Amino acid sequence: MSPLHKLDEVRRLEELAFRGWPALESQNHNGWHLRFSGGYTKRSNSINAISEDASTDIEDLEAPYRARGQRPAWRLSPLAPPAMVGLLEARGYSNIERSLVQRCPLHDGFTADPAVEIGPQPTPAWIEAFCAHSPVRPEHRETMERMLAAIATPKGFALVQSNGRPMAMAIGAVEGDHMGLFDVLVMPEARRQGLARRVTESLYAWAWQRGARFAYLQVVAANAAALPLYEAQGFRTVYAYSYWLPPA
């Protein structure tokens, strides 16, 4: 694949992910996509390049975050100008996390587990489980619920319970022929029972029925527990991105 086509693929997956996990407010400015959600999650409060000739004016791009009293977070994908890493390092910024964007082809061999409930909206039980195990701080709960409501349909909120207690959960968001997989959580007492596989493959089957032929996800590169499962399901890394934060 040529470098130009590779960047086009990165751009498409970036745009899908922006909509699959939407910020409450966003704006495009000088080749960057700025996302704001009251400080809830790095992903939805980050500075993201959308053009190879994006501005490198750090102060200009951080100004809207500082005006809101937020610490700016830079999310550098392959779309970011190559000079950005050096510019941020020179200012004392730290690379706090590297994540992978992976994609796999879907097929009709993925089957839904009858124990996995998938609904078009999060139930009260789903919300309570997510707040407890994500976790979501009380001051961010309203923001989180508004963000979930803003995900375009079709969307699926998956949950496995046992005796009324949540065991595992995840979100699927379909757009065109892709499904974004977000927030796969398995509760501590339910780990090593295959629940992550059951929840995710139920969502793949759900998405296949709605026209999706690929799934994509974002996973922390150091997540040794999740990566083998995703590899076995057919996921392969398309690109990586990293978060950079200014000195405290």
Residue 60 bridge partners (DSSP) = none
DSSP state, residue 55 = -
Domain boundaries, the chain: 3-102, 107-212
Per-residue model confidence (pLDDT) at position 52:
79
Determine the Cα–Cα distance for residues 238 and 218; give it in Å rounded to an integer: 10
DSSP H helical segments within 169-233, as ranges?
195-208, 227-233
- Say yes or no to pLDDT of 17 above 90: yes
Cis peptide before 135 (omega within 30 of 0): yes
Give the largest CA-CA distance in the chain. Answer: 55
**164 against 175, higher pLDDT:** 175
Determine the Cα–Cα distance for residues 211 and 214; give it in Å rounded to an integer: 9
Determine the Cα–Cα distance for residues 219 and 202; give it in Å rounded to an integer: 19
Determine the Cα–Cα distance for residues 194 and 232; give it in Å rounded to an integer: 13
**What average pLDDT does this structure show over 176-195?**
92
Mean pLDDT computed over every residue of the chain: 95
Determine the Cα–Cα distance for residues 9 and 53; give it in Å rounded to an integer: 17
pLDDT-based confidence at residue 202 (cuts at 50, 70, 90): very high
CATH number of 107-212: 3.40.630.30
**What average pLDDT does this structure show over 162-175?**
95
- Say yes or no to pLDDT of 2 above 80: no
Pairing label, strands 73-76, 46-49 = parallel
- Say yes or no to pLDDT of 245 above 80: yes
**pLDDT > 70 fraction of the chain, expressed in percent and rounded:** 98
Backbone angles phi, psi at 175, to 5 degrees: -140, 115
Residue 83: how many CB atoms within 10 A of its CB? 9
pTM score, whole prediction: 0.94
**pLDDT > 90 fraction of the chain, expressed in percent and rounded:** 92
